[in-house]
Structure 1
């Protein structure tokens, strides 16, 4: 009798163990598969740079995306709306004079409400003044009391500053683009573009700011020789209030409002 009771007791214990195991794991064997949860991939914003030219980095206006020779021009197009309507900056353009020497032209540039004023100091010491707005270009030189004027063309202002622009980057053949990426230039995070040698043997490099969409750097190389280098100091936005765009006779064509 005692042996029989012991057997029954062992069987009951076995039943309890089986029930416990089933309750812990068995249900998972019969319930439908749970749906797979996939977390969205988060695109980090471009580095939150410290102040750029006194302006805080506007990281909520752009995100860093991969740039390739095939996509870089579209990336730059998306940054065009970031270009400020009113700003001041100083641009230095160095050009080769031969024998490894470079001559520097310093351009002070004011842009406001569709008007542009450029003051260019040449290596010779000559100062050239250009104002463009309302469809007309005005030009004179330091000490002149008169000026010449003509109907404004698409590239007049860029030629006055002797610089390429982001438009030159957009006009490149995709096949000519050999390298792209993100680099620091003039203290700013930029989209970088490099081209293969053209028919003249020149290789071009461009840097477009991701915070304001402006071209802030450019270089032209012929082999190992630097032919041209353009660099921009930090952009001041907006242009200083009260700046007058005036002709030599004192006629004010435009004034930056406060």
Structure 2
């Protein structure tokens, strides 16, 4: 009798272990693949959940979740063109404006930046190298590229990687906003050691930064904006050096 009771006890212990394992791990065997993240929309909390939304996880944009949402939901197109406007505001209320045309295709970037004084600079980055020259000159500077090479001419065009590099404690606010008709993820930083506050609007549609601002004590000192994107890159886009060397052909893999 005692031996039978021991056998029953062993069986019960085995059942408990199996149930515990299924509770911890088994659900993943029968559940669908990792749920897709669905971004909230303005006023979504007041509207009913759409039908057929069971496979999505609605993530609200907060300082704690915004970096995760950006990293796991946004991606830039491989081929596009756009015009970027950079404004530096001086103390007298005047601003210096730089306008840059950016072409991106197949891992290559060609930026043409017209500065306030009229100087035009070109840069091409691709295949691990950069090329830099001034309009009207055949002299080209070249060298090994790094992660900052696309901004060689100092136009200071940030990307959403700048947001991902922030410490969570440096993010003061995050939300989902409409900026000039573009649905965006908005991020604002706490003032840095010098009092500067950074604001970013990242387009949900293109994954590109639509706007960025820097303010000091409530005064705007810098703004970058690029609200329209042409996809793919325009057919007339060129990745050619002043001497006629073609570094990349639009539509090719390299």
| TM-score over 0.5 (shorter chain) | yes
How many Å separate the matches in 2 of 1:107 and 1:64?
36
Per the normalisation by structure 2, the TM-score is 0.74
Counterpart CA distance in 1 for 2:39 and 2:219 is: 37
Distance in 1 (alpha carbons) for counterparts of 2:249 and 2:236: 6
Q: 1:99 aligns with which of 72, 92, 97?
A: 92
Q: Does structure 1 conserve the Cα–Cα contact (< 8 Å) formed by 2:123 and 2:152?
A: no
Question: Residue 155 in 1 paired to residue 148 in 2?
Answer: yes
Give the drift of 1:186: 3.9
Query: Taking structure 1 as reference, are residues 44 and 135 closer, same or farther at Cα in structure 2, changes over 3 Å only?
Result: closer
User: Structure 2: where are the runs of 5+ without partners?
Assistant: 1-36, 43-55
Q: Aligned pair 1:123/2:116, yes or no?
A: yes
Of residues 171, 189, 203, the one that matches 1:177 is: 171
SS in 2 for 1:167: helix
Alignment map for 1:239-258 (pairs within 5 Å): 239-257=233-251
Query: Is 1:237 aligned to residue 231 of structure 2?
Result: yes
Cα distance 1:44–1:140, how it changes in 2: closer, same or farther (>3 A)? closer
Query: Contact between 2:211 and 2:227, CA under 8 Å: does it hold in 1?
Result: no
1:65 is the counterpart of 2:59: yes
Contact (CA 8 Å) 1:220, 1:227: kept in 2 or not?
A: yes
* Secondary structure in structure 2 of the residue aligned to 1:175: helix
Does 2:218 correspond to 1:224? Answer: yes
Superposed CA offset, 1:66-122 (max 9, x none) = 111000000110134x31000000000111233121111101000000000000000
1:141-181 superposed Cα distances (whole Å, 9 cap, x missing partner):
01101200010011111344421111110111111111111
Aligned residue in 2 for 1:110 = 103
Number of residue-to-residue matches in the alignment: 202
Report whether the alignment pairs 1:196 with 2:190. yes
3-state SS, counterpart of residue 98 of structure 1: coil
8 Å CA contact retained: 1:195, 1:204: yes
CA contact (8 A) 2:40 2:60 kept: no
Change (3 A) 1:47 1:177: closer
Q: Deviations over 1:20-75 (max 9, x none)?
A: xxxxxxxxxxxxxxxxxxxxxxx987669xxxxxxxxxxxxx98631110000001
CA distance in 2: counterparts of 1:169 and 1:151, whole angstroms: 26
Q: 1:126, CA displacement in angstroms?
A: 0.3
CA contact (8 A) 1:186 1:217 kept: no
The 2-side partners of 1:101 and 1:84 are apart by: 35
